[in-house]
């Protein structure tokens, strides 16, 4: 076989769009026994589409949402739920936010930049919009703000069971609806997981997304339910990798986002998806230029070829 790699400056560039940041990486990769994948943007395309807008009915006694003058406004409908969510998200750069804003603009709803905005990492956003004090995010965001997410429980579970990311929308302390986005699994993800398993490697999924959505995606790609770490906060992803390594595992972490950068650094080998953020790429030992999880197999195979050459 031809030599696995050729030097390009300080970067070693292997064939077929896999970039190695140092000469020692292939050798280091030899001892990897666990491959940890970020879900969104890595196993999936990370291109979220808004699929559902659900109005959550409130008891009639609740009387609707009151405007400043105490006048009860027109009842909450889909346009209200999506318009409020999109206005709040218009100041966020999260992929979920983009999906919400795009769909609202497509439906020609009222989307105005909020006068106040706060990003709550791993949970959602809080903003003052034309619709009122608006919250968009997960159950924890609602509970932390004194809003009971229970009236939406059945809808949340249904959407999450479909592998969608469902987000609660509240306006002026009232839960008004749920919006959900769908993402699609990358074509090669399932095959990649299966070959890693065949090679005796442990495969783990790490995500900030909720348990049910994560489980649905894990099932689709063939990752064991016990190997899913869901609802991991952005700042805790590196700790999750650390925990695995403390248990004696040699971890290859594969990710794409800003959130993933500390985990990529912590892992024995960090692998970034090439279309991911600059921060992720800077933190990684290896970059997959083609955004194809199957290229993880190339790294593993090349490292084994290196071993046989040394022998």
- Catalytic residue numbers read 38
Q: 40, 129, 181, 188: which one contacts Mg ion (CB under 5 A)? A: 40
CB of 43 to ligand ADP, least distance (A): 11
Task: Give contact residues for ligand ADP (rule: CB under 6 A).
Answer: 39-40, 89, 92, 94, 96-97, 122-125, 136-138, 165, 167, 207-209, 234, 257, 259
Residue 139 CA to residue 286 CA, distance in Å, equals: 36
Q: Which helix (H) or strand (E) holds 124?
A: strand 124-129
207 binds, among Mg ion, ligand ADP, none (CB under 5 to 8 A by kind): ligand ADP
Query: Is 14 in contact with 5 (CB distance < 8 Å)?
Result: yes
Q: Shortest gap between Cβ of 164 and ligand ADP (angstroms)?
A: 10
Which residue, 163 or 208, is less far from ligand ADP as judged by CB?
208
Q: Which residue is nearest to ligand ADP (CB)?
A: 208
Cβ neighbourhood burial of 52 (10 Å; 0-12, 13-18, 19+) = middle
Site for Mg ion in 266-305 (CB under 5 A): none
CB of 142 to Mg ion, least distance (A): 23
Size of the site for Mg ion (CB under 5 A): 5
- Which has the closest alpha carbon to 152: 208, 99, 76, 100? 76
- Strands, DSSP E only, in 130-208? 132-137, 165-171, 174-182, 202-206
Question: Which partner from the list ligand ADP, Mg ion, none does 137 bind, CB cut-off 5 to 8 Å by kind?
Answer: ligand ADP
Asked if residues 40 and 33 have their Cβ atoms less than 8 Å apart, the reply is no
Q: Radius of gyration of the chain from Cα atoms?
A: 22
Please report, as ranges, the residues that interact with Mg ion according to CB under 5 A. 38, 40-41, 256-257
């Amino acid at each position: 076989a031809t030599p696995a790699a050729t030097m390009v400056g300080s970067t070693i560039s292997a064939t077929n769009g896999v970039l190695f940041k140092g000469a020692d990486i292939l050798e280091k990769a030899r001892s990897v026994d666990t491959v940890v994948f970020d879900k969104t943007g890595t196993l999936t395309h990370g291109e979220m589409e808004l699929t559902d807008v659900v109005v959550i009915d409130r008891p009639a006694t609740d009387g609707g949402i009151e405007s400043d003058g105490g006048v009860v406004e027109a009842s909450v409908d889909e346009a209200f739920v999506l318009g409020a969510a999109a206005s709040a998200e218009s100041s966020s750069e999260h992929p979920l936010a983009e999906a919400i804003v795009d769909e609202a603009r497509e439906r020609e709803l009222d989307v105005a930049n909020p006068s106040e905005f706060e990003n709550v990492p791993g949970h959602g956003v809080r903003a003052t919009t034309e619709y009122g004090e608006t919250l968009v995010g997960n159950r924890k965001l609602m509970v932390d703000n004194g809003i009971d997410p229970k009236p939406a429980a059945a809808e949340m579970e249904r959407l999450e069971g479909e592998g969608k990311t469902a987000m609660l929308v509240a306006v002026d302390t009232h839960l008004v609806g749920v919006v959900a986005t769908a993402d699609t699994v990358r074509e090669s993800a399932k095959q990649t997981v299966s070959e890693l398993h065949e090679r005796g490697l442990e495969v783990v999924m790490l995500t900030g997304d909720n348990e049910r959505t994560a489980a649905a995606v894990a099932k689709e790609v063939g990752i064991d339910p016990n190997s899913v770490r869901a609802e991991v906060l952005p700042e805790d992803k590196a700790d999750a990798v650390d925990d695995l390594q403390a248990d004696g595992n040699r971890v290859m972490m594969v990710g794409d986002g800003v959130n993933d950068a500390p985990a990529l650094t912590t892992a024995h080998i960090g692998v970034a998806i090439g279309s991911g953020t600059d921060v992720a790429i800077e933190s990684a030992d290896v970059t997959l230029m083609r955004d194809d999880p199957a290229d993880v197999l190339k790294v593993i195979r090349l490292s084994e070829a290196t071993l046989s050459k040394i022998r």
